[in-house]
Amino acid sequence: MDLGRCVETFNLLGDESRLRLCALLRDRELCVSDLVQVTGISQSRVSTHLGRLREAGIVRDRRRGAQSFYTLAHAALPEAVQGLLDESTLASDPTLEGDRKRLAELEEERRGGAAASLLDDLERYYSPGRTWRSLTAGLAALLELGDVLDVGSGDGAAAAMLAPACRSLTCVDVNARMVEAARDRLARFSHVRVDVADVHRLPHADESFDAVLVFHTLTYTERPLQAITECARVLRPRGKLVLLCLDEHQQPEVTAPYGERHQGFSKATLTTLLGKAGLEVQSAEIACRESRKPRLDVMLAVASKPATAPSPSPSHHA
């Protein structure tokens, strides 16, 4: 490397932000968004720095879909440049240590999400038309449901996916604004009804539904046993109750701002509540773990109503 090129390269590396990027790219390949998240440097500045480093042959890039991934171009680096980078990027510096710590946390979060790697890839990497919405629509097309009650249906997003598979679908929510939004979303389905109703006092006759859905509703209820007992009451013999809720956790600061009254329900608690409501528990397990911190677990419980239903335990014991 001639003297002019040497001076140009050393001037290029005489910038703290560019050295921070090089330190992160020493042993791994990262995309721009990763570098932004770890360093806190703006995306435009990160992209500009990477462009200059690439032009100088210090980093190399490759495309994957809509993203570019960068790493140090070790094989192409002159010995003097490699020595400078080794000396500066491996230093025990508070800024570099902070970057390395945040990168380790990011990678740990990715590994936690990778427990269900195929499912996570669906969210992480774009492919035309390959979305959670299209996957849900495809799975829903396999279903043949009867009369379904969706308790705590919110704005009707989940109901819209299931509606074509139902003989009839009744959606209820205590929030009038959500009910209006659901009515707008579901207006195209003539067999769907949306009403304001409280799960503690459902306005439906006994044994009215073949299936009752309780998706992320139980943690908001004032009296969980009474809520499940009401759901069991309107369920027909051999009908199913499907329940999703957070597993029991110790992160009230995360969920309380959303109005949740309970810090999730453990498998044991759900099994007890469903049993007291006169239902037979078929399964109650963790269905998934959220990829974002604090990585809360989501429980999935499925229970059925016996052909000859026993009388449920009094709900005032909840």
Q: What is the pLDDT of residues 17-55, one digit of tens each?
A: 988 998 899 888 999 999 999 999 999 999 999 999 999
Per-residue confidence (pLDDT) for residue 256, from 0 to 100 = 84
pLDDT (tens digit per residue) in 51-69: 999 998 889 999 887 788 9
Q: Quick one: which H or E segment has residue 283?
A: strand 280-289
* From-to residues of CATH 1.10.10.10 in the chain: 3-117
- pLDDT for 3 beyond 60: yes
Query: What is the average per-residue pLDDT within 101-109?
Result: 82
Per-residue confidence (pLDDT) for residue 122, from 0 to 100 = 54
What class does CATH assign to 3-117?
Answer: mainly alpha
Which fold does the domain 132-317 belong to in CATH? Rossmann fold (3.40.50)
Query: pLDDT grade, residue 114 (50/70/90)?
Result: very low
Question: What is the rounded CA–CA span in Å between residue 91 and residue 32?
Answer: 23
Return all residues near 74 (Cβ < 8 A) that are at least 6 apart: 82
Question: Quick check: bond before 294 cis, omega within 30?
Answer: yes
**Between 94-113 and 16-24, two packed helices, what is the crossing angle to 10 degrees?**
40
Other Cβ atoms less than 10 A from the Cβ of 203: the count is: 11
Query: Where do runs of H (alpha helix) occur along 25-131?
Result: 32-39, 43-55, 79-89, 94-113, 117-124
Question: What is the rounded CA–CA span in Å between residue 139 and residue 149?
Answer: 19
| 105: phi then psi, degrees, rounded to nearest 5 | -65, -40
Radius of gyration of the chain (CA): 27
Is the sign of the CA dihedral 193, 195, 197, 201 positive or negative? negative
| Nearest one of 291, 278, 195 to 232, comparing CA atoms | 278
**Between 16-24 and 32-39, two packed helices, what is the crossing angle to 10 degrees?**
120
Query: What is the average per-residue pLDDT within 161-169?
Result: 94
* Pair 215, 171: CB distance under 8 Å: no
* Pair 99, 39: CB distance under 8 Å: yes
* From-to residues of CATH 3.40.50.150 in the chain: 132-317
Angle at 109 between CA 104 and CA 112, to 5 degrees: 125
Per-residue confidence (pLDDT) for residue 310, from 0 to 100 = 58
Query: Tokens in use for 308?
Result: 């000859």
Question: What is the rounded CA–CA span in Å between residue 52 and residue 44?
Answer: 13
Return all residues near 212 (Cβ < 8 A) that are at least 6 apart: 148, 149, 151, 231, 234, 235, 239, 240, 241, 242
Query: Tokens in use for 304?
Result: 């059925």
